[in-house]
Amino acid sequence: MNYDIDKIRSWFPVLKNDVYNKPLIYLDSAASAQKPVQVLMKEEELHNQYYGNIHRGAHFMADKATNEYEGVREKIRAFVNAATIREIIFTKGTTESINLVASSFCERYVGAGDEIIVSEMEHHANIVPWQLAAERKGAKIVKLPFNDSGILEIELLVDLINENTKLIAVAHVSNVLGTINPVKEIIDIAHKSNVPVLVDGAQAAPHVKIDVQDIDADFYVFSAHKMYGPNGVGVLFGKEKWLNEMPPYQGGGEMISEVSFEGTTFNELPYKFEAGTPHITGVIAFGAAIDLMNEIGLDNMAAWEHSLLEYATEKLKEIDGLRIYGEAPRKSGVISFNIEGVHSYDLAMLLDKMGIALRTGHLCADTVMAHYNIPGCVRISFGMYNTKAEIDAFIVALNRVRMMF
């Protein structure tokens, strides 16, 4: 494989840093990925050359910023293969994208006695907004369970779906288990009963090729900051049919067509769902991250990260008393684990002092923790810039910490 890791690492200045006088080993890209110079330079270019508010200015800079911003919308459309840019809404992240759908979709289509199926392996961001909406509407959340290997029991779906089911919410990739869920199959089952599906792609978009038309997703959501782009920017893909019928999420400038005290008419898609001044800088710089991922090739990145996943899994399995949560055959670059007799916080704190950045705690996935009956765990996750040498150093550090207990 032609994967120039040295060149890739050179694009991420932060990786050259020391922390606590140790070389930084960043194994927390699933929480947020580091930013390459291409993204940082794009932010600077915008502010040094043509910053202005978009869609409303009558001057050169506002026009240029608008063109750049809308250019990124087209890049995202192509990235997920949506049919039209009207289906691409910018939000401030996956969380806001899901809240938008939970609020607007449920307002329009969900009533008392209705049901929303949510998988057991969801991030809190794909549970709580549905609970809030269900509570408002007198609807009910129904759980789609996973088994101990971290595989969704999709054979149960046929029985879980009934005439009251209004939507299914499921992650493309679990942020704890790393499982790549068969979303196309899930959507196919759901659509046989005319039930739409929202796919949480927060952990998939940086690693898995997305084709919303091929999988036939009704909604697909993700965050720029996990894709080497800025924080505070996210995307909601929604089928035009739904977005047209759903009421606006927030009111304000830009989402209207005409306003009077007698009433307001709304702007066309996608602007109907983009009230107020958006994160102009973030969206424009996100475009540079998309360009970079396209240049390297998502398949190349995925293959590289998969080799890291296999290598690290093998090494971790050699450690006595270590349990990995999530052993599905199709996994993304995420490994969550515990070591018997060692608290996950102690582990993470000591590893941090050795320069290793990872995630610990409930990982915003209490239902996954409850499944395994654990309070928390440790998670390592890979980005395009990680190496086997970093995994070796991590394993040495982990063994040192284990010896301390």
Q: Letter for the amino acid at 193?
A: S
Kindly report the number of other CB atoms within 10 A of residue 54's CB atom. Answer: 21
Q: Which stretch binds ligand PMP (CB under 6 A): 89-97, 139-147, 279-287, 392-400?
A: 89-97
Tokens of 216: 């036939």
Interacting residue with ligand PMP among 34, 203, 267, 332 (CB under 6 A): 203
Contact 227/32 with Cβ under 8 angstroms?
A: no
Q: Closer to ligand PMP at the Cβ: 66 or 181?
A: 181
Question: Is residue 94 at the binding interface for ligand PMP, with CB under 6 A as the rule?
Answer: yes
Piece in contact with ligand PMP (CB under 6 A), picked from 91-99, 178-186, 316-324, 335-343: 91-99
Binding of ligand PMP by 179 (CB under 6 A) = no
Nearer to ligand PMP by Cβ, of 94 and 387: the residue is 94
175 binds ligand PMP (CB under 6 A): yes
Closest distance of CB 319 from ligand PMP, Å: 25
Query: Shortest Cβ distance from residue 177 to ligand PMP (Å)?
Result: 10
Q: How far is the CB of 49 from ligand PMP (least distance, A)?
A: 29
Q: How far apart are CA 68 and CA 365, in angstroms?
A: 36
The mark string for 8-47 relative to ligand PMP (x by CB under 6 A, - otherwise) is ----------------------------------------
Of residues 324-363, those binding ligand PMP (CB under 6 A): none
- CA 105, 109, 111: angle at the middle one, nearest 5? 120
3-state secondary structure 110-169: CCCCCEEEEECCCCHHHCHHHHHHHHHHCCEEEEECECCCCCECHHHHHHHCCCCEEEEE
Q: How far is the CB of 220 from ligand PMP (least distance, A)?
A: 12
Among 200, 218, 274, 305, binds ligand PMP (CB under 6 A): 200
CB of 247 to ligand PMP, least distance (A): 22
Q: Which stretch binds ligand PMP (CB under 6 A): 45-53, 54-62, 148-156, 197-205?
A: 197-205
Q: Count of alpha carbons within 13 Å of 281, Cβ hemisphere only?
A: 13
Residues 100-139 that bind ligand PMP (CB under 6 A): 123, 125-126
Interacting positions 217-256 with ligand PMP (CB under 6 A):
223, 225
Told to check if 202 binds ligand PMP by CB under 6 A, we report yes
Among 73, 89, 93, 205, binds ligand PMP (CB under 6 A): 93
Q: Does 95 bind ligand PMP (CB under 6 A)?
A: yes
Rounded to whole angstroms, the Cα distance separating 382 from 396 reads 18
- Which sign, positive or negative, has the C-alpha torsion 113, 114, 119, 123? negative
Given phi > 0 = left and psi -120 to 50 = alpha, else beta, which region is 331? beta
Respond yes or no: is residue 364 known to be catalytic: yes
Q: Are 317 and 324 in contact (CB under 8 A)?
A: yes
Q: Which is nearer to ligand PMP, 65 or 380 (CB)?
A: 380
For ligand PMP, the closer CB: 93 or 376: 93
When the beta carbons of 127 and 187 are compared against ligand PMP, the nearer one is 127
Backbone angles phi, psi at 191, to 5 degrees: -65, -25
**Edge-to-edge strand order for the sheet containing 115-119?**
88-91, 234-238, 219-223, 197-200, 165-171, 115-119, 140-144
For residue 325, what are the β-bridge partners? 336
Joined together, the tokens standing for residue 318 give: 């050699």
Say how far apart CA 238 and CA 89 lie, in whole Å.
8
If binding is defined by CB under 6 A, does position 170 make contact with ligand PMP?
Answer: no
Q: Which is nearer to ligand PMP, 202 or 351 (CB)?
A: 202
Closest CA relative to residue 340, chosen from 282, 289, 402: 402
Tokens of 273: 């769902």
Q: Which of 364, 380, 397, 398 is catalytic?
A: 364
Active site residue ranges: 364
* Binding-site ranges for ligand PMP (CB under 6 A): 93-95, 123, 125-126, 171, 175, 200, 202-203, 223, 225, 364
